[in-house]
Amino acid sequence: MKPGSSEEQHLFDNPRNVRRLLRGLFTVCAALILLDVINFLLHEFTGFLWLHREEGPFEWLPGYYAVYGFVACALLVLIAKELRKVLMRDEDYYDR
């Protein structure tokens, strides 16, 4: 919001709400990892196979999807950022 304007406060103008959102995200991530741990322990100690991950390459590794998602995104963004050095031109490049 522009300083000095008399507008009402919106949801994310309050930094506390942003923190809440982030805390929610971290909690969900932790819970999802916990599910993988439970799956792993179940299989180790009881032999019960809860999550069926036997088809994809490396899929059986505990935490596979979480790591893949994180690393894929990091690579995607960092490589794209480097690509800018080669690909990026001024906005009016084609108009000149």
Contact residues toward another protein (CB under 8 A) are: 1-2, 7, 10-12, 22, 25-26, 28-29, 32-33, 35-36, 50-53, 55-57, 63, 65-70, 72-74, 76-81, 83-84, 86-91, 93-95
Which C-beta is closer to another protein: that of 10 or that of 45?
Answer: 10
Q: What is the gyration radius of the CA atoms in the chain, in angstroms?
A: 22
Which C-beta is closer to another protein: that of 41 or that of 50?
Answer: 50
Instruction: Pick the closest to residue 51 from 29, 30, 66 (CA basis).
Output: 66
Q: What is the DSSP letter of 37?
A: H
